[in-house]
Structure 1
Amino acid sequence: MRARTDTLYISIPATYRPTGVSDFDGNPFIEALPPMEESKNAILSRLQNYPLTPTKSELKKGEIIRAAELGRIRTLVYPFAEYQRAGMNLTLNIREAYVARNPLNPVDMQRRLAIASGDGEFAIPNNWVSTAKGQTLIGISGSGKTTFATAFSLPYQIVIEHREYKGKPLVCRQIPWVNLRMAHDATLKSLCLQFFEVVDGILGNTNFYRQARSVSGIARMSLLMAHVATVASVGVIFVDELQNLKAAKGGNAVFVLNLFSEIIERAGVTLVIAGTPALETVVSQNVRNLRKLGSGGDSHFVQMKYGDIEFNSFCETYWDYQFVAKPLKLSDDIKRAWFDASGGNPAFTALAFMLAQRNEIGGRETVDRAAFERVARYDMASLQPAIAALLSGDPAALAVFDDLLSGAEPLRSLIAWKGGTDQPTAKEEEFQELEKQEPVEERKPQRKKPAKPVIPKKEKEEAKVTLPMEIPF
């Protein structure tokens, strides 16, 4: 079965551009990436997206046509201030991942050989140190973290075909960005298998997923992930909705954190994880891994507050997309009702605006306080417990915010909510270590060089697979 990816990856020939950064220049994997922005504002400009605003002639069109045009609002990407900081961190982190993995560096050639052995018998060179980072995006559902990651990653969702660099052969393929997403109560093994499945789906001519399915232990799986990440020259693995991972909810969270540590240390891949505030509790269980997962910066996406600059600017931006026949000017009275209907959550705020217009088109043809009050009372009634938690600002209420959303099934797709009742399409298996449900002790800090994994003899035999040094075109 091939993975479904949100975006179609296209293959492009490598074009090498000097970056002006001493650590980056001379590294074909970095020079072949899309050009870096020159300023933080340029990052925001790339992330934002403003569809065409309705014209006077469009406001004269029929009711159904105008109601259908409301879908245009879904493509609007408002550039929150946090996008600037998170975007700069990610711009650097995706490149930092490749600094120690320069394919022209003899030390990294030794590392690649060690990983290609597939059984851990060859040690990674002592003088090879990963430069990959860990980055976290934390926020309640609808706060904009997934929208940010999607907008940022678009230029990087490509396959770069290398043939030669400065007159010397360099035949390999490079995947700068891999997207993974956790369904509700997904297993750690399903997360790993999803990685192979997605890579197969991107490349189209590999069978890593089939080979990985026979692996039943975490140590062997981490080796296979490091191998595939190396031969596919993966830069970033983005894991969304990580709080849904079943193993992360109990005493086995340390297995999850240790696996992520291996991805950063051994594979040299930058790991970006996104989730709700519940994820912070999991990550903080292990100080060593907490340091690694935050080495590339933490970003917190918070709800907007009534009267602040961001909320006013957000409302003014969306207000330009009125498809009612009698649009009004945005007043404080309207903004107050709008905020009360949404709690300052970006996704709820956009949803309330769309629903208010859908109700009024063909009726009063105007969006005002009454329109938002009607939306809150009827259209978004199932969201009211969650909105009440937002309006209260009570940490205890916000801690169960996603649980409150689980009862809003009719609106989940509209707010792009990915928690709650998403179910795997097939029975999810788990690693042997986790199925035993034995107490887990935190792994002690080790030396800087990644340690050689200990793989049980039985697991070596059952999962002996042969993987290529390079991926065929």
Structure 2
Amino acid sequence: MSDSKDSRFPEAEYKNQGLPEYNENPLISALPTIMSPVAVARALAKRPHFQAEELNLPCHIRTHAIHRLTRDFFVPQTNHIVIEQKLSKLIRCSYLNRNPKTATFKRKLNSVRDLVQKEDLTAYIHDEVDSPASSMTIAGISGAGKSTTTNLVLNTYPRVIYHPEFHMLQVPWLKVDCPHDGSLSDFCLSFFIALGRRLNIDYRAKYASGRPTIGKMMADVADLCLIHAIGLIVIDEFQHMSLAKSGGEKKMINFLVTLVNVVEVSVVLIGTPKALRLFASEFRQARRASGDGSVVWDRLPFDESWEDFLTELWPYQWLKHKVERDEQLTNKLYELSQGVPDIVVKLFCLAQFRAILLAGTPEEERLSSELIEQVFEDEFSIVKPMLEALRFGNRHKIEECNDLIFPKFESNMINAVNQLVTKPLGHTKKVELGEPMETNIANTAIKTIVSMGIAEDIAQPLVADALAKDPNLKLIQIIQLATTALTDTEEKPEARDKPDSKPVYTSRSSWAQLSSNDLRKMHADKSGSMYEVIQEKGIGYPIQELLAG
């Protein structure tokens, strides 16, 4: 138990859980009530914000709206309900022998902590124990939705519950991402960081500084599980765990089984089939290690589940011309994605993104099988080996592809833009001054002055200079200033020789509009060095002749 009296966290509200053994235990009765399958489906379902008025937004804004689908779209399936029910049971069962109201709780706590302090965590690993805690594994290919579903389920539970009567901060669940190429010590470090963030305590500095031994770090992890009444530890991306660095699979598995059997914390491993298969044989030998079995997380089958998923997804089109989903589109999407939800949603988004940017008319803003296939070929080449393996049922190939990292949606958006064919503008902008209105006025002023008989290469810098001084000038004011400057220049050439006269300023952005023999024009147009330009034009000073003379 913790001596903390910190009330920054929500205080426990004890609810009727429907079973006497649950209601009598404050660590369980403080949890949300057990949900029915219908309530689970409602709690997990997510839909993005969508309004018909958004179809009238400019295309560059609509492409941002499409991104909502990757964050706020989730369709609960039967396997999601199963996962919620299993996690619900794992959390509650881990507390059955840890009731802070009973006298035996403190004795058990002290005996376990004594074992922890001796760093002898695996002494009774295969003994018969009465631990009600259990464990399970969730194995499946990347992008199938394992982590997303687990996160949604876990977030239906409080992160921290404060029990004033027992001076305890209860952590019902803690999710730890296994570090890439991680060892057992790296996992312990990740645990300290995750728990520290949850409680706003720097456990990393407290337990991981000074090069502690792996045995000491393991003991501290177990101790913290008891102090903060952790009910469930979820270890995600378990395929990153390095058996060699951990001292072999026995050491890692013994540690996890200790958490289940001795510390009485339920454990869930999430990873790819190949990684979890390495641990399966040893894990199953420990009592209760596979008490709740394993869940093999597969792609969506090509049946009513796939149909339901697309039915929910299809209305979210931010396109001027929505198309109805037909059999061809349904089959093409499954052929390309093989029913992997992450790929389906991202492919659907990127196809809309490209349809908007490529369309010349509103009618052309539409999805098609050809467009979807082209986007897939351009943006999803990295996952094609895995999808081919799924298509042909090649399990060996699937395991080889299990460490694939899916490209981020943002990167795919950028790549989609790079793939687009550049469209020429409707007219050439002669003077670039920033705002479209300024550019249109400038071009009109230049045409007007040219119609007066003034050369265009003279009119352009005059107009640019006028707008540089005051961008809010009206057309007649621009023409007046430009012609006045021209008249002053023509009538008073001697003014240029006066030391106190101010030259006509031409902004750097307008140098390209000057006459071809102007050095500023040459500088703006150069592709190499200025020296090379001067040599090419033959305007350099004849220094060699001077030296020879």
Q: TM-score range by the shorter chain?
A: 0.7 to 0.9
Displacement of 1:55: 2.8
The one-letter amino acid paired with 1:397 is K
Are residue 29 (structure 1) and residue 24 (structure 2) matched?
no
Q: Does the CA contact (< 8 Å) of 1:86 and 1:297 recur in 2?
A: no
Larger radius of gyration: 2
The one-letter amino acid paired with 1:234 is I
Q: Does the CA contact (< 8 Å) of 2:129 and 2:261 recur in 1?
A: no
* Aligned twin of 1:71: 67
Greater displacement, 127-136 / 105-114: 127-136
The one-letter amino acid paired with 1:35 is T
* Aligned twin of 1:133: 134
* Aligned twin of 1:232: 228
Greater displacement, 338-347 / 253-262: 338-347
- Measure, in 1, the Cα distance between the counterparts of 2:213 and 2:32: 37
Are residue 87 (structure 1) and residue 84 (structure 2) matched?
yes
The one-letter amino acid paired with 1:98 is Y
Find the partner of 1:278 among 271, 274, 281: 274
Query: Map of 1:134-283 to 2, 5 A cutoff?
Result: 134-164=135-165, 170-205=166-201, 207=203, 209-214=205-210, 216-247=212-243, 252-283=248-279
Find the partner of 1:346 among 341, 346, 362: 341
Query: Map of 1:304-453 to 2, 5 A cutoff?
Result: 304-306=300-302, 308-362=303-357, 363=359, 364-403=364-403, 405=404, 409=407
Distance verdict in 2 for CA 1:41–1:215, change over 3 Å: farther
The one-letter amino acid paired with 2:257 is S
Distance verdict in 2 for CA 1:293–1:347, change over 3 Å: farther
Q: Does the CA contact (< 8 Å) of 1:248 and 1:282 recur in 2?
A: no
Structure 2: give runs of 5+ residues left out of the alignment.
1-7, 414-549
Displacement of 1:260: 0.3
Displacement of 1:210: 2.7
**1:360 alignment partner, SS class:** helix
Displacement of 1:211: 2.2
- Measure, in 1, the Cα distance between the counterparts of 2:412 and 2:39: 29
Structure 1: give runs of 5+ residues left out of the alignment.
1-9, 165-169, 416-473
Q: Does the CA contact (< 8 Å) of 2:238 and 2:276 recur in 1?
A: no
Q: Deviations over 1:404-445 (max 9, x none)?
A: x35x65669779xxxxxxxxxxxxxxxxxxxxxxxxxxxxxx
- Measure, in 2, the Cα distance between the counterparts of 1:241 and 1:22: 37
**1:16 alignment partner, SS class:** coil
* Aligned twin of 1:42: 39
Find the partner of 2:58 among 59, 62, 77: 62
- Measure, in 2, the Cα distance between the counterparts of 1:251 and 1:158: 33
The one-letter amino acid paired with 1:153 is L
Q: Identity percentage over the alignment? A: 24
- Measure, in 1, the Cα distance between the counterparts of 2:203 and 2:350: 45
Q: Does the CA contact (< 8 Å) of 1:11 and 1:158 recur in 2?
A: no
The one-letter amino acid paired with 1:396 is H
Displacement of 1:61: 1.4
Find the partner of 2:11 among 10, 13, 16: 13
The one-letter amino acid paired with 1:156 is Y
Q: Does the CA contact (< 8 Å) of 2:346 and 2:409 recur in 1?
A: no
Q: Does the CA contact (< 8 Å) of 2:135 and 2:288 recur in 1?
A: yes
The one-letter amino acid paired with 1:344 is G
Q: Deviations over 1:77-114 (max 9, x none)?
A: 12121011111111111111111111122222112112
- Measure, in 2, the Cα distance between the counterparts of 1:388 and 1:325: 34
- Measure, in 2, the Cα distance between the counterparts of 1:412 and 1:69: 13
* Aligned twin of 2:293: 297
Q: Does the CA contact (< 8 Å) of 2:207 and 2:217 recur in 1?
A: no
**2:95 alignment partner, SS class:** helix
Greater displacement, 268-277 / 206-215: 206-215
**2:139 alignment partner, SS class:** strand
Displacement of 1:215: 6.3
* Structure possessing the higher relative contact order (Cα contacts under 8 Å, 6 or more residues apart): 1
**1:179 alignment partner, SS class:** strand
Q: Does the CA contact (< 8 Å) of 1:240 and 1:273 recur in 2?
A: yes
Q: Does the CA contact (< 8 Å) of 2:143 and 2:340 recur in 1?
A: yes
**2:164 alignment partner, SS class:** strand
The one-letter amino acid paired with 2:175 is N
**1:36 alignment partner, SS class:** coil
- Measure, in 1, the Cα distance between the counterparts of 2:412 and 2:105: 46
* Aligned twin of 1:441: none
Q: Does the CA contact (< 8 Å) of 1:115 and 1:226 recur in 2?
A: no
Aligned alpha-carbon RMSD (Å): 2.8
Q: Does the CA contact (< 8 Å) of 2:196 and 2:203 recur in 1?
A: yes
- Measure, in 1, the Cα distance between the counterparts of 2:401 and 2:248: 24
